[in-house]
Structures are given as C-alpha cells and as structure tokens.
Amino acid sequence: MEFRKVFDQIPEQFDQYRPRYCSALFQDLISFAGIGRDTDVLELGPGTGQATEPVLQTGCRYLGIELGENLARKMRQKFSSYSNFSLVQDDFITHDFGNRRFDLIYSAATIQWIPEEIAFSKTFSLLKPGGTLAMMLTHADYKTPDPALYDRIQQVYTRYFKPEIPYKQGKFDYANAPQYGYIGFEKRTYSGERVLTADEYVGLCGTHCDHLVIPEPYKTLFFDGLRQAVQDAGNQIRFQDTYILYLTKKPGK
C-alpha cells in the first residue's frame, strides 16, 4: 500500500488527534489571497478537515479533493451543512478539473505526497492569473521542553520501531515553486504549544503513516512503551509547535 493511502484506514483517529493550525496563520492566508465570497478555493487532500473550516467560513466557493474514501466520508459528515462546501473523492494527480480555475489552492501537509513537477505544474495551470498557492505544515518539538523524556522515547523507537514498509518518501522542496513560474515566494512562521496526556500522545503517533505499518509483536510493545514513558513523566508531553506557511503567486494578467 502507498503511504499516502494508509491514513484512510483511521478516519476517526485521524480527525481526533491530528494537529490544527493557529488562527493567525489563517488570517494571513485569507488576507494574502483575498479570499471571500465570489472566490474559488481548492484544498488538496484535506484529510478530515484540519485546515478547512476557517476557509469555508469566508463564504468562498470551496472544493476539496481527497484521495481516501473514508476520509472523504468524514469530511462530508462534518461540513455538508455549509452551502459553499463541495468535495470530490479522487486523486489530484489524475483528476480532470475541466475548465474550473481557482483563486487559491492550498495544502495542509499534503502537497509533499505529490511529485514536485506535477504538484507545481498542475496547481499553476489550475490557478487564475494572480492566484495564490499556499502550503502549510507543522514542526513539532518535544525535545526542548523535556530532554529526558525525549531520550526515553528515542529508546523506545530504537528498540521497537520496525515498520514492515520502509518510508522512502523524498523530501519536497517548497522553495522550488519559482522554477515552475510562481513569483513572490515567501515563508511565514507562527508559534503554538500543545500538552498531551500519554493516551493522547499514543493516539497522535498512531496517525503517522510509518507507525501504522509496524507488525506485531513490535506494534503493541512500541505503543505501550510510548505510553509508559509519558505516564512516568507526569502523564504529559509538551510540544512547542512551529506552524509554517509558504505563499507564492501565479503572475497576473
């Protein structure tokens, strides 16, 4: 199974534990792209909507394209009450959007699953002149707040993290967007913090693609080891989050 399809096995867990993004990021994104009523927005691989609702609330004409059947079903359950919401369950790489074009195309930790040439070339062709491509992701640091807990967790990884399928996903270089015609590339960063219990941390780790393919008995030993490490640290693990937003535009007319 492709790693980008693994998440579809766990829609409820994915929805509960995947991190969200801060409001300041969405404010900047919406302002930069000029999104509101009478604008068209495409979200790539929304999952279960971790980055969807703030954009929907602008009143834009929203379209999501989600590869996973179960994830798409969860999206429809959550957002079908919005009259401006629509979703297609398909692969962005092969989907034919016809003549539809967008003022904003955005991705929350999804575009890196698409080969770079396809990702940048196809989004460029789907944007209206002057349209925006936005790409966001989260870097989560739990080493700085508690180095001792970090070291103990690394010991659990060393001993039990033995996925059946090696993770070979190449690194996606967001800064290459200008090579495909985009202009004004910039990076913005925002800070946040999360404190999780042991069970919440295990739930989060269970949404990582390569963690889902650990065979037994290692899988049980691995997650039990993570849970015990956090319980022994006062039943909390603190994350210092950095939210990253890349913005770039297609040249206008």
The confidence score (pLDDT) of residue 193 equals: 96
pLDDT(170) > 80: no
Mean pLDDT, rounded, for 125-139: 97
| Total residues belonging to the chain | 253
Mean pLDDT, rounded, for 143-148: 98
More confident residue, 16 or 171: 16
The confidence score (pLDDT) of residue 213 equals: 87
The confidence score (pLDDT) of residue 8 equals: 82
Domains detected in the chain: 3-140+169-193+240-249 (3.40.50.150)
Residue 23 tokens read as 């409001």
Closest residue by Cα to residue 139 from 189, 186, 212, 200: 189
Which residues are 28's β-sheet partners? none
Mean pLDDT, rounded, for 40-48: 97
User: C-alpha angle 206/75/21, rounded to 5°?
Assistant: 65
Residue 241 tokens read as 């989050």
List, in order, residues 6 or more apart from 119 with CB less than 8 Å away. Answer: 111, 172
**Cα diameter, the chain:** 60
Mean pLDDT, rounded, for 172-191: 97
More confident residue, 168 or 114: 114
Phi, psi (degrees; rounded to nearest 5) at 181: 105, -10
> What's the mean per-residue pLDDT of the chain?
94
More confident residue, 201 or 10: 201
Tell me the pLDDT band of 4, cut-offs 50, 70 and 90: low
pTM (two decimals): 0.94
Residue 131 tokens read as 């349209």
Tell me the pLDDT band of 150, cut-offs 50, 70 and 90: very high
pLDDT(6) > 80: no
